[in-house]
Structure 1
Amino acid sequence: MQTTLGQFNETQSTDAFALQNSKLLKVSLNQVTVQAKLGSMVAYQGDVTFEHAGSGGLGRMLKKAVTGEGTQLMKVTGSGEVFLAVQAQDIHLIYLENDMITVNGPNLLAFDTGIDWDIRRVEGASSMMGGGLYNLALKGTGWVAILSDGPPVLLNVAAAPTFADAQAAITWSSGVSTGIRTDFKMKNLIGRGSGETVQMSFQGQGWVLVQPSEGRITADVTQQSSSGGGLGSLLNG
């Protein structure tokens, strides 16, 4: 048989996390145990087990209940390989070495057991908006895979005053502090769902990754929420 399918052969990378392509993540479970976005498995080979990841303790369960931020996670264990993807969105890998990044919850795809997580509030957000703005802080040593709706841009925060839409800023490094831009009229926030009315500021030494979209991931989360999933039931434990 003659085909043109050879270009799609499985990658033979020996890394625990490897990009099969820009939209598909391969995880070798012989090396790691993984927590991944619920529903992100598209294929696996070998002896693989999937179970609810839980909230990781009472404190984080209470934060989940109060903030409603993050994403539902599943724990993936076993031997073999699992392939993860979410609606053909772009996937990016970050390896932390006793470091921390902050991730917009819907943009988190997977991380390994060397990474701990917590829920953090954006400084200044609660006084501007009901409930505030919350994200996931990931800290430790290991791999993190994040999603972007299209090819993102990596901005050097130290180079100039930096601002981004709250839904478009998907992750930033540990040397960056955040806030809410307040030099626009409060009435623009009332009754508006667009991220364009909620601008985050970034300063310090580090970077922020900004996706070219504020719509698809947000829309997906809204649909999940209406069917019993999404932000409202994040990390149920």
Structure 2
Amino acid sequence: MAQLRTEGHRVLVVDLHGDSVRAVTGSMIAYEGQVTFRNAGMGGGGGLRAAFKQKVTGESLSLMEMAGQGTVRLAVDAQHVVVVPLAGDALHVESSQLLALSGGLRSDVTFAGLRGASSGQGLFTTVVSGQGEVGLLSAGGPLIALEVSPQYPLVVDPDAFVAHRGQVTQSFVTDVTWRSAVGGGSGEAFSLRFDGTGVVYIQPQER
């Protein structure tokens, strides 16, 4: 089975053993061995249903498939990289922070709500599910994992959100006060609230 590992903090190394891994198009910086590259097809390998959703929602997830025997190194804009293992569960990811998916994983697009009630602009996340490993990107420093419990719901800036997993529900909170207090943001302010039991991953730099 293909293995994902980090080299330093900003490079993802993919070891291929006659199998394949999907990665963000254009992220390859070097490779060794007998490796072939091709477009992963409509929906980034998630099937026609995922492709249709991406077209309708505007969610952009362009993936390439790397197959063969060898080692491939991936990076995007010197962002930090982390490998998250999945064991039959699902990971909801901001598509711009997704770097690579190992062979047995599938991707789909889900509607998360409206960015603003007045703007009507949609917010969508990519759902990765199955058994395998996911390579995630984090801008501005290492990825931060925050626990969510029924006693302690979590509120995060949507521009810092990267992913979440577990039995977690996501909702939108209109919260102008905290943005006004720190002088951040513009236009209609809102936050993402997570309730339940699970983990939310955020990055230290806003998009």
Return the TM-score normalized by structure 1.
Answer: 0.75
Q: Which residue of 2 aligns with 1:83?
A: 73
Secondary structure of 1:62 counterpart: helix
Q: Which residue of 1 aligns with 2:26?
A: 39
Q: Which residue of 1 aligns with 2:132?
A: 142
Q: Which residue of 2 aligns with 1:73?
A: 63
Per-residue deviation, residues 51-73 of structure 1 (Å, max 9, x unmatched): 11121432212111111114211
Deviation (angstroms), 1:128: 5.6
* One-letter identity of the residue aligned with 1:41: M
Deviation (angstroms), 1:153: 2.2
Deviation (angstroms), 1:31: 5.6
Contact kept? 1:32, 1:112, Cα under 8 Å: no
Looking at secondary structure, tell me which structure has more helix per residue: 1
Counterpart-to-counterpart distance in 1, 2:133 and 2:120: 33
Give the total of aligned pairs.
197
Counterpart-to-counterpart distance in 2, 1:126 and 1:60: 24
2:139 is the counterpart of 1:152: no
Q: Which residue of 2 aligns with 1:174?
A: 166
Counterpart-to-counterpart distance in 1, 2:121 and 2:134: 27
Counterpart-to-counterpart distance in 2, 1:138 and 1:194: 31
Distance 1:32 1:18, change over 3 A: farther
Deviation (angstroms), 1:41: 0.3
Please give the residue correspondences for 1:1-237 in structure 2 after superposition, counting only pairs within 5 Å: 16-30=3-17, 32-54=19-41, 55=43, 56-123=46-113, 127=117, 129-149=119-139, 150-158=141-149, 160-184=152-176, 197-215=189-207
Looking at secondary structure, tell me which structure has more strand per residue: 2
Counterpart-to-counterpart distance in 2, 1:134 and 1:140: 20
Percentage identity across aligned positions? 36
Counterpart-to-counterpart distance in 2, 1:194 and 1:173: 29
Moved more, 101-110 or 197-206: 197-206
Secondary structure of 2:52 counterpart: helix
Per-residue deviation, residues 194-234 of structure 1 (Å, max 9, x unmatched): 5992311111100101111113xxxxxxxxxxxxxxxxxxx
Deviation (angstroms), 1:125: 5.1
Distance 1:127 1:171, change over 3 A: same
Secondary structure of 1:66 counterpart: helix
* One-letter identity of the residue aligned with 2:155: F
Greater Rg over alpha carbons, structure:
1
CA RMSD, Structure 1 to Structure 2 (Å):
2.5
Deviation (angstroms), 1:123: 4.2
Counterpart-to-counterpart distance in 2, 1:65 and 1:195: 27
Q: Which residue of 2 aligns with 1:218?
A: none
Secondary structure of 2:6 counterpart: strand
Counterpart-to-counterpart distance in 2, 1:195 and 1:69: 22
Deviation (angstroms), 1:37: 0.6
* One-letter identity of the residue aligned with 1:30: H
Contact kept? 2:113, 2:124, Cα under 8 Å: no
